[in-house]
Structure 1
């Protein structure tokens, strides 16, 4: 039988096809890696790592080890996304909270910090209150929240005894908000109902001002569309003096995750954003789906009840700061948050600065750096010390994207 040798052209054709196939596999792998990298910090993981990152240790001259806190930096094409210069602060790690929390709430009454609700993971939300004692650095006194009360993105404020809890998101993932409101008597540990809001709101600005409970902005039921509504309710000693909420002058710019402060008989709303994650259409578990967000630095003041006035903006856009503030020596201190997304990676960028708004000069400044970038911090101030606990911290000194939900408590001496 005659044998036929393969032609030279056929061998070249096979080699070319093999090269094209290898190139295609490489391109697909690269695309999948890039997609995973760009979305991992935004979608969270159902198995979110909530362990606490520990500072690296470096040897002392005597052979012992000490904590090393590395300040984060970010190289980027726009200064908006970089850390602003500021003095270094010496931070001490205190007693860790019983559970890690993201998007929880906190209210300080004297030497006690009441810490509410929040995500443990994207699929699990807390429904209880923990109490931190600044005096003896201990956590204790845990008690349950009402079953109908929201689990995250709450509006909250106190008159020194009663804590008013307004609306918020009910359940994990990206479920919508509830219109239910409650009040806690911190002396008796008793809960009572308040009249529901006209419409549910997600993470609204909330404060007590001139005998009325004010609720402003936030997002509407879909979690994404900004609300401009402003309602108020007369309250006293933990009770509503009216059956229905009153319409007030709308806020100039809607949206969630803002600091809301009453000081010197003036109502201020600081920072925040427009837009947020929404539930994926048709998802039975309301799985979170990314949407466009715009973070801003605006500061608005309502000083006569009928007109909003714009004050000097924050040094950089800042959101997720609703419980990240404290009043210190006629200044508003704000710790951490989120700023605009990185222009190249499109990932969320956390904030590592501690900002000060001097109410005498109406000037902003950076008074220091946090031990790491972090959002939704829960802040308190006691006996000259600035404290923060909980939130979601960065991936490391060179990566400002969010990663671990933490429960650590930190403090630094703050003199203004």
Structure 2
């Protein structure tokens, strides 16, 4: 009996030891797992922090970025990064235009400045002309445009004496379709007449009267986005067409809208512009504008008696929305404002606040001054030593070059070039 009890006690003791060892092993395993997990998370957090800092210091790396954008990058990118150094000018504010205008158009004939149509805002467009007299510095007249005439994205040119030619453009607000209709305004009688329509409608084509022919080039095609390379011309004289159809000319090297087109010294210049533009949102009953990729450039092309395009030095920076932002002063082309490349981080449109000079004697560009604020689609004129501009869409403030308010303000500064 004693032997049996002893064996039972030994067996019980042995079982107890096994259980204790099991629990000790389990506890040790759990502790090891916990410590390893803690070390792993600590290492991972440190690695992520180092990787994030490395990406901030090296923004061009191909390493995968963390889920949250590295805000530190934005601190190194000034909101005014696109501005170029330029002297400050003294500007004097003159009587504002009767209405604010975006994508308005203008032509100067002697001391009178004819300002056409444009947007009041995306949902409302103007259908009239306002006239400013540079001698009295007053807005002196207003009259309506034809009901069938485009309201924005026009092509516009003049003989400098009496007649103004209005070519194609967008009819209506938002991003509606273009028209191919062409009009001519007799500024002496304030009457309108039709010319043969363009072969195809265009948005904001480069347009000029040169050697007795009305030239129309580039612009955007019917979908409002695809750049056109077409170049047509029509013989005109004293506000009348001498031909029934437009003639095909040498295509422009690079297409797109919102460019300056200038004739000086018997040469035709096309400056700046962009490829692509806003498009109507598919299925929208009001043709609501929808943003697309745009490429702004500063290319300069010239046609002379050889009728071959020549490439000239580009603008100091890419620039668009400058169709009527130019004047000729002392054998120089002066361009005011515009839009440039998108902000590299926000991808928002950036406005231009500089005044550029292209010296036609040296064929060189320079930045000669600053506007009162950054602004696009300015309408510029020059009279009696004064550089004027009116209207457009201005920036959000000195530290924010994004577009905001459509304005009708008129400004002038004394400009003398040697």
Partners of 1:79 and 1:270 lie apart in 2 by: 26
Q: Is the 8 A contact 1:118 1:152 kept in 2?
A: yes
- Superposition deviation, residue 88 in structure 1: 1.0
- Superposition deviation, residue 79 in structure 1: 11
Partners of 1:76 and 1:181 lie apart in 2 by: 49
Q: How does 1:337-356 map to 2 (within 5 A)?
A: 337-356=338-357
- Superposition deviation, residue 125 in structure 1: 0.3
Partners of 2:144 and 2:339 lie apart in 1 by: 30
- Superposition deviation, residue 306 in structure 1: 2.8
Partners of 1:364 and 1:220 lie apart in 2 by: 30
Aligned to 1:248: 249
Aligned to 1:59: none
Of structures 1 and 2, the larger Rg is shown by 2
Q: How does 1:220-259 map to 2 (within 5 A)?
A: 220-259=221-260
List, as ranges, runs of 4+ consecutive aligned residues in structure 1 with deviation greater than 4 Å. Answer: 74-81
Aligned to 1:267: 268
- Superposition deviation, residue 87 in structure 1: 1.2
Aligned to 1:37: none
Aligned to 1:4: none
Aligned to 2:219: 218
In the superposition, relative to structure 1, how do residues 81 and 248 fare at CA in structure 2: closer, same or farther (>3 Å)? farther
Q: Is the 8 A contact 2:80 2:401 kept in 1?
A: no
Q: Is the 8 A contact 2:324 2:380 kept in 1?
A: yes
Aligned to 2:38: none
Partners of 1:103 and 1:334 lie apart in 2 by: 16
Q: Is the 8 A contact 2:82 2:350 kept in 1?
A: no
Partners of 2:75 and 2:328 lie apart in 1 by: 32
Q: Is the 8 A contact 1:169 1:175 kept in 2?
A: yes
Q: Is the 8 A contact 1:81 1:341 kept in 2?
A: no
Q: Is the 8 A contact 1:375 1:393 kept in 2?
A: yes
Aligned to 1:367: 368
Q: Is the 8 A contact 1:81 1:339 kept in 2?
A: no
1:317 and 2:318 aligned: yes
1:299 and 2:311 aligned: no
Partners of 1:257 and 1:300 lie apart in 2 by: 14
In the superposition, relative to structure 1, how do residues 330 and 76 fare at CA in structure 2: closer, same or farther (>3 Å)? farther
Partners of 1:251 and 1:301 lie apart in 2 by: 10
Partners of 2:227 and 2:294 lie apart in 1 by: 11
Aligned to 2:206: 205
Q: Secondary structure at the match of 1:301?
A: strand
Partners of 1:392 and 1:305 lie apart in 2 by: 39
Aligned to 2:170: 169
TM-score, structure 2 as length reference: 0.81
- Superposition deviation, residue 86 in structure 1: 1.2
Q: Is the 8 A contact 2:205 2:219 kept in 1?
A: yes
Aligned to 1:136: 136
TM-score, structure 1 as length reference: 0.81
Q: Secondary structure at the match of 1:252?
A: coil
Q: More helix by proportion, 1 or 2? A: 2
Q: Secondary structure at the match of 1:108?
A: strand
- Superposition deviation, residue 108 in structure 1: 0.3
- Superposition deviation, residue 240 in structure 1: 0.2
Aligned to 2:195: 194
Residue by residue over 1:175-233, the C-alpha shift from the partner in whole angstroms, topping out at 9 and shown as x without a partner, is 12100000000001010000000000000000011110000000001110000000000
Larger RCO, structure (CA 8 Å, separation 6 or more): 1
Aligned to 1:383: 384
Residue by residue over 1:142-193, the C-alpha shift from the partner in whole angstroms, topping out at 9 and shown as x without a partner, is 0000000000011001102100000000000001210000000000101000
Residue by residue over 1:247-304, the C-alpha shift from the partner in whole angstroms, topping out at 9 and shown as x without a partner, is 0000000000000000010000000000000000010000000000000010000112
The unaligned stretches of length 5 or more in structure 1 are 1-73
Alpha-carbon RMSD across the aligned residues, in angstroms, is 1.4
Partners of 1:305 and 1:164 lie apart in 2 by: 25
